[in-house]
């Protein structure tokens, strides 16, 4: 029994060391990205592997552009649509999470997520698409690391450049070219609002661009954009 107890403690120690090492890896990687741009994300690599199952030669549409070369219309539209309190919260909007939980409970299914822009970025940079309490907990840890090491503008710059906007389409510049044949700097208000509305289900809306909901929600975001506060 003594040797078995020692084995348990050794296993626990290894698990703890592995967890700490993983968090240190995340922290160092985020620190590096404070002034270096990510060449890809965990989510992008995962999706690319799926796409290559049917087309081994396919490449992602991904073009990095600096923050000042992305239309203010798009910046305001995404904040209005995805995270109205982005400039104020510290990574997690607990009020939004509570409202999302209450709404989902009433509907009996997940209708809204309540995740902030920083949380979405944390998931895209490092995590898989699986849903579990462990993954959600790790997402929160990474979220607070991002907020601790980066200012809001840098967080938003990376988000705008790596978020998915369609099958194999990542970032504002690639999305602007894919949907409108223009650069991200030249997006008009209605174009930006439409792109923002696509974000929760980008692959679906890429294939269903005539969606009635997409048009209706775009009008609502257009009306909200004027009050969106940028970092």
Give me the pLDDT at residue 132, please: 72
User: Do 48 and 87 have their domain in common?
Assistant: yes
User: Do 55 and 134 have their domain in common?
Assistant: yes
Instruction: Give the predicted TM-score (pTM) of the model.
Output: 0.90
User: Do 52 and 143 have their domain in common?
Assistant: yes
Higher-pLDDT residue of 195, 7: 195
User: Do 185 and 117 have their domain in common?
Assistant: yes
Give me the pLDDT at residue 105, please: 57
Binning pLDDT at 50, 70 and 90, where does residue 107 land? low
The domain containing residue 88 runs over which residues?
38-227
H, E, C per residue of the chain: CHHHHHHHHHHHHHHHHHHHHHHHHHHHHHHHHCCCCCCCCHHHHHHHHHHCCCCCCCCCEECCCCHHHCCHHHHHHHHHHHCCCCCCCCCCCHHHHHHHHHHHHHHCCCCCCCCCHHHHHHHHHHCCCCCCHHHHHHHHHHHHHHHHHCCHHHHHHHHHHHCEEECCEECHHHHHHHHHCCCHHHCCHHHHHHHHHHCCCHHHHHHCCCCHHHHHHHHHHHHHHHHCCCC
User: Do 65 and 102 have their domain in common?
Assistant: yes
* pLDDT tens sequence across 188-212: 999 999 999 999 999 999 999 999 9
Is the pLDDT at 5 greater than 80? The verdict is no
Rounded mean pLDDT of the chain? 90
């Amino acid at each position: 029994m003594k040797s078995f107890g020692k084995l348990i403690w050794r296993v626990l120690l290894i698990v703890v060391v592995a967890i700490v090492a993983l968090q240190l890896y995340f922290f160092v990687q985020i620190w590096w990205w404070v002034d270096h741009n990510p060449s890809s994300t965990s989510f992008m690599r995962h999706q690319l592997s799926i796409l290559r199952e049917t087309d081994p030669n396919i490449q992602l549409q991904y073009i990095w552009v600096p923050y000042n070369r992305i239309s203010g219309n798009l910046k305001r539209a995404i904040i209005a649509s995805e995270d109205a309190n982005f400039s104020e919260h510290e990574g997690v909007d607990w009020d939004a999470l509570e409202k999302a939980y209450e709404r989902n409970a009433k509907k009996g299914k997940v209708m809204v997520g309540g995740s902030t822009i920083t949380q979405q970025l944390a998931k895209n940079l490092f995590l898989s698409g699986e849903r579990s309490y462990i993954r959600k907990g790790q997402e929160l840890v990474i979220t607070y690391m991002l907020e601790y090491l980066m200012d809001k503008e840098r967080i938003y710059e990376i988000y705008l450049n790596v978020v998915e906007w369609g099958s194999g389409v990542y970032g504002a510049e690639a999305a602007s070219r894919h949907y409108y044949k223009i650069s991200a700097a030249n997006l008009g208000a209605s174009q930006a609002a439409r792109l923002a509305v696509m974000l929760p289900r980008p692959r679906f809306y890429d294939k269903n661009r005539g969606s009635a909901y997409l048009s209706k929600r775009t009008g609502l975001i257009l009306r909200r954009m004027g009050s969106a506060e940028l970092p």
